[in-house]
Homo-oligomer: A and B are copies of this chain.
Amino acid sequence: MRIKETAPSTWIWYPGDYELWLGNGMNNRRTERGAFFPPFWRTDSHYVTVEFSKKVFIYAPEPIEIAAEGRYNVKVDGKLQSGQPKSIILSRGPHQLNVKVYNQVTPPALYIRSKSVGTDGSWKVTAEDKEWIDQSGKVSDTSTTVYMNAGYWNFNTPEQRPSTFKLAMQPMEAVETKAVNDGQLVDFGQETFGYIRLHGLHGEGAVRIHYGESPEEATDKEHCETLDRIYCSQGYVTDLFTDTTIVIDDEYTLAGSKAFRYIYIEVSGSIRLDRISMVYEYLPETCRGTFRCSDEDINRIWQVAAHTMQLTTREFFIDGIKRDRWVWSGDAIQSYLMNYYLFFDLEAVKRTIRLLRGKDPVTSHVNTIMDYTFFWFISIGDYYMYSGDKAFIIQIYPSMKTMMDYVLSRTNENNMVEGMAGDWVFIDWADEKMDKKGEVAYEQLLLCRSLEAMVRCGGIAGDSEGVTEYAVMAADLRCKLQPAFWDKDKQAFVHNRINGKKSNTVTRYANIFAILFGYTGTTNEQAIRNSVLLNDNIMKITTPYMRFYELDALCLMEEHHQVIHDIKEYWGGMLAFGATSFWEKFNPKDIGTEHLAMYGRPYGKSLCHAWGASPLYLLGKHFLGVRPVKEGYSEFIVSPNLGGLEWVEGTVPTPRGDIHVYMDDHRIEVQTRLNNGYIIFSSSTKPEANKGPIESLGGQRYRLKIRHDIARPQQDGSPAVQYSDSHSAIPSKGKEEGVIEDSAQYNDSHSPILSKGKGEGVVIRISYTAIRIIF
């Protein structure tokens, strides 16, 4: 037995409940011109009474420290302890601990700590949806109680009560303040988020603050999307929205957080202000993923995308910071994928998946949107692939089943989905009117992929019966896609089928996803590229949302040059309009303030939208070329591609450590301590490597296996994937060797990455000759 001060311990709760509660706070913070604007889907909440349970063994009598959020009781070996004990003594031997906590206001949570006992994810928890008591009136043993393993995050001390969680804060100064009309226009230099702070506020009257992602919005008092009003009188300041009044101090910080780059502020009466600053509010994240290349436009795009991602990664992955500030499933799945190449924050992914799901019964699609329900399923498949986190799959699987029950209860006679009353068939924001009726091809593809996710997750959760059913349904539906939607003449999937009649319209959506999901043979794939993806006559996509998938599909078809071109044109186009974060929608044909408008409102468009940041994903997955082949990168591919760039380099985070990649036209370097990978590349000459044999795959394709047998046997308890040359220096591009700082922020990463490598893992160097693409 090891001597230790206390066992590791963390606050625990009913899995998902903290997330629902935290999400309710988040989703209910949206305002529209000073009015509260909650979501329009059902908002669930936490179970108010839960029981936590654990069997422990104590070697010598020891005191147990107990803290709970809520009213609670404690049973030791079935015996109820008096009062709400803050500590108890456990005697030597085995013990059964049960703690019930009731909390109407915030999720019931428990923290227990002692020398040998600590609350953690191994504790069982029940909301008592099942428990049997016998007729003697005593609660029976817990054999028929359905327990889950407890949820937790990172609240590791008794003082860090989960209900007191707050994002991090950082005071920031304005870049410029200038007089405009009767007020002041304040510029904070780039898109940001937080609370306006007024310094030296005194006098009597009103302060009117108008927020803008653009100067046009901030100064348009009648149409700006968000605003604040405070009134000062007799030494007190009152916030009109929150209806709170406090004494005027030298500093007054607005109660509500907002998104902005600019604010336009007017005061009335005798109000005077010395200065205006802000308090930046953010979720501290580390940019484990990095990217740099020879093209500074692309580098700037990556930086702005990372900034966009930082701003929209909060308690949850939200859509945009100005307007909705809500969690949307279709937006979130893209945030997750970008996150796998930037922060690799798995907790944020799990939180968001849980919040989106809510509780049973399922009475509508996720966010009311049919496609978003499917993206929810698919995102769990993605999560498993990137994280390898079986425990979460097992825990979420029962609610995947009830969600799928809902979906399947609404299929038509062809086992396909059609929009029914209450369903929103979204697809995409398009400038042209889009038909959403009947069997929309895109939706069937997503359903099919969702069923495949059920098969995969069901297997992990041990639901063999379900796996069989879902597999049959998925196969059946997949066989129906071609007959139902493929148009031989057009060599494309058509948009939809109504009452058995195939539509004449071709849109990009189903065709993109047929490629992404591998739902079409090679012949069709090339056909789709020519007849749809590279066909300018097919309605163009004007949201980064759908461009994400379009460019992903083009990369799968080795159109990397095209994708680099598109990224520079599309995202570069936003930068050319002064973007400091990426937008909800961008139509290069728009002019002037048309770029700011959406939903029929002059500033309705979000200028900081998570789905705008997809280059993070595209560059990491397809140019650094790193992706998992098996769950949690237990097997993976590094298939870097220059796409016409002179060199690319960067880091991709994984649950087993980072993968560093460098590529130029004659050298590929991969540094990693992961095992079971393949470096795949093309070369016009016979390549050479410092490690392991290079296999030819035919044509000009080559593969080098990152093999386990080159790893040194484990001796020190560290992960088994430590390589033999794990502490060697890493020369790269002639820069000095060094150590990566784990906490490197996205915006201070201006030096090549490999040069700052931690010196961990193997370095594989390949000499090769890039194949010149002739256009």
Residues of A whose CB lies within 8 Å of any CB of B are: 21, 24-25, 28, 32-49, 71-74, 80-84, 100, 102, 104-105, 127-139, 144, 229, 240-241, 243, 360-361, 363-364, 368, 402, 421-424, 426, 429, 434, 436, 598-600, 604
Contact = CB atoms under 8 A, between A and B. Distances in A.
B131 A83 contact: no
A104 B135 CA distance: 37
Given A36-B102, A131-B368, 8 more contacts: A38-B73, A40-B131, A42-B47, A42-B127, A43-B49, A45-B45, A130-B422, A135-B429
Given A104-B24, A105-B105, A130-B422, A84 B243 contact: yes
Interface of A is mostly: loop
Contacts of A229: 83
A80 B35 contact: yes
A135 B434 contact: yes
22 contacts: A28-B71, A33-B80, A33-B82, A34-B82, A37-B80, A38-B49, A38-B73, A39-B49, A40-B133, A42-B47, A42-B128, A43-B47, A43-B49, A43-B127, A83-B241, A130-B368, A133-B368, A133-B424, A135-B434, A135-B436, A138-B600, A144-B422
B48 A43 contact: yes
A364 to B, nearest CB: 5
A100 B36 contact: yes
A129 B426 contact: no
Contact of A37 (B35, B39, B73, B240): B73
Nearest to A28: B102
Top-5 shortest CB links A-B:
A129-B363, A130-B422, A43-B49, A137-B599, A36-B73
Contact of A132 (B35, B100, B128, B422): B422
Contact of A422 (B45, B83, B131): B131
A104 B105 contact: yes
Contact of A102 (B21, B34, B38, B426): B38
B35 A421 contact: no
A361 B363 contact: no
Q: Identify the interface centre among A45, A74, A434: most chain B CB within 10 Å of its CB.
A: A45
Contacts of A364: 129-131
B132 A423 contact: yes
A80 B426 CA distance: 24
A73 B33 CA distance: 11
A360 B429 CA distance: 35
Contacts of A81: 35
A84 B32 CA distance: 12
A129 B43 CA distance: 8
Contacts of A80: 32-33, 35, 37
A45 B130 contact: no
Contact of A28 (B24, B49, B130): B49
B599 A41 contact: no
A421 to B, nearest CB: 5
A196 B73 CA distance: 23
B45 A363 contact: no
A80 B144 CA distance: 50
